[in-house]
Amino acid sequence: MDKKGGIMDSLKTMQERALDTTKPGTVNPKELLQLELLTSFEKYTKCLFKAQYHRSFIVAEHHKKMFEALQDVVDGKCKRLIINIAPRYGKTELVIKSFISWCFALNPKCRFLHLSYSDILVNDNSETIRNIMQEELYKTLFPNSGLASEKGSAKRWKTKAGGELYAVSTQGQVTGFGAGNVDIDPELDKLDGGNDIFVFDDHVNEVLSMIGVATNVFQGAIVIDDPIKPEDAESDIVRERINMRFENTIRNRTNSRNTPIIIIMQRLHEHDLCGYLQEIEPGEWTVLSLPVIQTDPITGEEHALWPMKHTLEELYKMREINPLVFDTQYMQDPTPKEGLMYEGFRTYKIEELPTGNKAMQKWNYTDTADTGADSLSSICFINTPEYCYVTDILFTDAPMEVTEPKQAQMLARNQTVDCLIESNNGGRGYARNVKKILRTDMRNFRCAIRTFTQTENKKTRIYTASAQVQNDILFPEGWERKWPNFHKALMSYRKDNKKKQHDDAPDCLTGVWEMHSKKGRQRKIHRRN
């Protein structure tokens, strides 16, 4: 019998076990449930959560993304995974407790090293995993995954098949234990008489293979949950100690180059473990970042990641109370406290916006994208002798065929009378096209389109004008929500420029102030019609 025929026979055997053909309509619920839970981490989590807590696990969109990421780990598609998500959003329940117990169901020989900043935390997680595996439902469905002892220390325990979990703090003793199992050479294994890596019956493994699910070859992982406490994250000494601890000790606790490493944490600092690893190993880590406020890439509308936990309005209030903590721990966007170019900007209420003769100078400043990595930055504002009132912003890395009509629409919408476009790097062609759209398509002859050549150094201009920019330019209340990408680019810009950073937003804002300042208009801008 060929291989295909053998698989089909196995499938037939499985069907016969699950469906009693002698009694039409009769099923073997145990067989069906076992297969469903082995092939779906999501179904496993919902089922065992219900068995353990006697309530339903409500699956949100961010849970589904974590299910998919972890399934990729089990299937061998991902060896280095980082999940960044806010506290109390189900990360430990799903990634630690449910995932590890599921992996022991797939392969009781798994070896896990679980770490966190606290011994208490990892021991609690370990105890919960062990409790899940002692649930009657778990033992009934996965009898081969039984514990060697149902009592004893939560710090380190084993399965009857030789699997093991070792739970310890990131500062604890980890030498003498390796996560995963040593790779087996198939050819050498044949000479040794063969080694059965499959835990379940052959027909189960073949069916799993047919539907594209890994068949019990997953051997375990290093799983790190919050390697550093939030209050310690501001300490350069503690952060460096944790990062070097990972580099010199934890990273090497794998028994195979194929053993995955999973890190789940809320971002705490730009140089926390996640930041450190992405800086030294760019492209090596798969990063699933889940900010609590999601932005629709098409419409730009914002929505809450998990409305059941926090509504959008609640999240806005949280951000107002402590924007730095919110951006770091909840938006997964750590911003350095020191070395920032801008401390903050003044705002105005809508009713304070100049009208009538005071609003005659409706201007625009546009900084075109210099390279493919840069963003178009265009700001509409009302200029008065005292202040510049920002009314609209276009900040995007979309191509010119998209930005040109959007710019024309913004100029018309804001009744702009004077638009100044930087002519460096293709700006003159961009200006001509915007002008053509305004005149030909929109019949707008009110707005004057002019170009200029910027001759002074960007960084010098931005730094020199930073104080005046913060004093003289006013944004509408809630501008951080209205233009989130521009706000992020502006408020994360640093003075020291130690890391390569985009300067499109601060450069454009500096240009607005230079238009506003007579001195700036005379000395810093060379215009040409």
Would you write out the chain's pLDDT as a tens digit for each of its 529 residues? 343 343 334 445 555 665 555 566 566 677 778 888 888 999 999 999 999 999 999 999 999 999 999 999 998 899 999 999 999 999 999 999 999 999 999 999 999 999 999 999 999 999 999 999 999 999 999 998 999 998 888 999 999 999 999 999 999 998 889 898 876 554 444 444 444 443 445 555 566 566 555 454 789 999 999 999 998 998 989 999 999 999 999 999 999 988 999 999 999 998 999 999 999 998 999 999 999 999 887 777 899 999 999 999 999 999 888 888 898 999 998 877 667 899 889 999 999 999 998 899 999 999 987 655 678 999 999 999 999 999 999 999 899 899 999 999 999 999 999 999 998 777 899 999 999 999 999 999 999 999 988 888 888 899 999 999 999 999 999 998 899 889 988 988 888 755 567 889 999 999 999 999 864 444 444 444 3
d(CA 62, CA 409): 36
Amino acid 194: pLDDT? 41
Residues in a beta bridge with 4: none
| Residue among 360, 379, 366 nearest 422 (CA) | 366
| Residue among 324, 420, 106, 104 nearest 114 (CA) | 104
| Residue among 356, 400, 359, 353 nearest 376 (CA) | 400
Residues in a beta bridge with 166: 113, 156
Please list the residue range(s) of the chain that carry CATH number 3.30.420.240. 346-528
Amino acid 525: pLDDT? 45
Q: Which two tokens stand for residue 100?
A: 């590890």
Amino acid 36: pLDDT? 85
pTM of the model: 0.67
How buried is residue 23: exposed, middle or buried, by Cβ count under 10 Å (0-12/13-18/19+)?
A: exposed
Assess contact for 505 and 395: CB atoms under 8 A: yes
Give the number of other Cβ atoms within 10 Å of residue 192's Cβ: 9
d(CA 20, CA 15): 8
d(CA 224, CA 264): 6
Amino acid 455: pLDDT? 82
Task: Rounding to the nearest 10 degrees, give the CA dihedral for residues 176, 241, 95, 97.
Answer: 50
Amino acid 488: pLDDT? 85
Amino acid 324: pLDDT? 81
The angle, 0 to 180 degrees and rounded to 10, between the axes of the packed helices 41-53 and 29-39 is 120
d(CA 227, CA 232): 10
d(CA 274, CA 329): 13
Give the containing element (helix H, strand E) for 460: helix 458-472
d(CA 166, CA 168): 7
CATH 3.30.70.1450, domain 79-184+200-290, yes or no: no
Classify strands 80-85 and 286-290 as parallel, antiparallel or unpaired: parallel
Please tell me the number of Cα atoms within 13 Å of 323 on its side-chain side: 14
Residues in a beta bridge with 224: 115, 263
Classify strands 448-453 and 302-304 as parallel, antiparallel or unpaired: unpaired
Q: Which two tokens stand for residue 464?
A: 């020199």
Given the candidates 3.30.420.240, 1.10.10.10, 3.20.80.10, 3.90.1010.10, the CATH classification of the domain at 346-528 is: 3.30.420.240
Please list the residue range(s) of the chain that carry CATH number 3.40.50.300. 79-184+200-290
Amino acid 523: pLDDT? 40
How far apart, in Å, are the Cα atoms of 84 and each of 118, 266, 310?
Answer: 19, 5, 17
Q: Which two tokens stand for residue 5?
A: 């025929």
Assess contact for 419 and 445: CB atoms under 8 A: no
Amino acid 16: pLDDT? 60
3-state secondary structure of 159: strand
Task: Rounding to the nearest 10 degrees, give the CA dihedral for residues 500, 503, 506, 511.
Answer: 150
Give the number of other Cβ atoms within 10 Å of residue 331's Cβ: 24
d(CA 387, CA 403): 28
Is the alpha carbon torsion for 310, 312, 317, 321 positive or negative? positive
d(CA 100, CA 222): 10
Task: Round to the nearest angstrom and report the end-to-end CA distance of the chain.
Answer: 83
- Backbone dihedral region for residue 215 (phi beyond 0: left; psi -120 to 50: alpha; all else: beta): beta
Assess contact for 512 and 441: CB atoms under 8 A: no
With a CB cutoff of 8 Å and minimum separation 6, the contacts of 382 are 353, 354, 358, 359, 361, 362, 363, 388, 389, 391
Classify strands 286-290 and 388-396 as parallel, antiparallel or unpaired: unpaired
How far apart, in Å, are the Cα atoms of 107 and each of 125, 139, 143, 189, 257?
Answer: 20, 14, 11, 19, 19
Assess contact for 207 and 192: CB atoms under 8 A: no
Assess contact for 71 and 81: CB atoms under 8 A: no
3-state secondary structure of 332: coil
| Residue among 260, 244, 255 nearest 183 (CA) | 255
